[in-house]
Amino acid sequence: MTVSPSPLELSHKAVLDSLLLKIPGVTGGEMTGFPAYFVAQKMFACICNGGVGVRLSASEAANLQFSMGSVVPFQPRGRPSSREWIQINHETSADYEKDLEIFKSSIEYVRNART
């Protein structure tokens, strides 16, 4: 099944490319048709459902779901994901620049994760 990103998701990708691809070790690619970002060949973020899925420790993911109104559980294609994945939703793509520390935390977590 081929997935075509929406115009909003393409806008998110443009912002995230400029934000994340300049971080050493980060590469862009695709996972099951979704634009995605990798470190050490492991995915730490992907654009899906009109937002951005991000992998963090389960405790950090839970904290962000309670502390940020723009954060919800990540459910790619409507399916539940693990407790380590959240989705950050912004209507304005440039707002993802404010989440740089979350992305950096994700990169560090995934880089050091065993799986």
Q: What CATH number does domain 14-112 carry, 3.30.1460.30, 3.50.50.60, 3.40.630.20, 3.20.20.80? A: 3.30.1460.30
- Residue range 50-69: average pLDDT? 95
- Give the single-character DSSP code of 96: G
- Residue range 26-54: average pLDDT? 95
Which sequence spans correspond to the domains of the chain? Answer: 14-112
Residue 50, pLDDT score: 92
CA distances from 29 to 13, 25, 43, 68, 71 (A): 11, 13, 9, 28, 23
Of 56 and 31, the structure prediction assigns the larger pLDDT to 56
- Residue 101 reports pLDDT greater than 80: yes
Is-contact 64 73, C-beta < 8 A?
A: no
pLDDT band at 46 (very low <50, low <70, confident <90, very high): very high
Cα distance between the two ends of the chain? 26
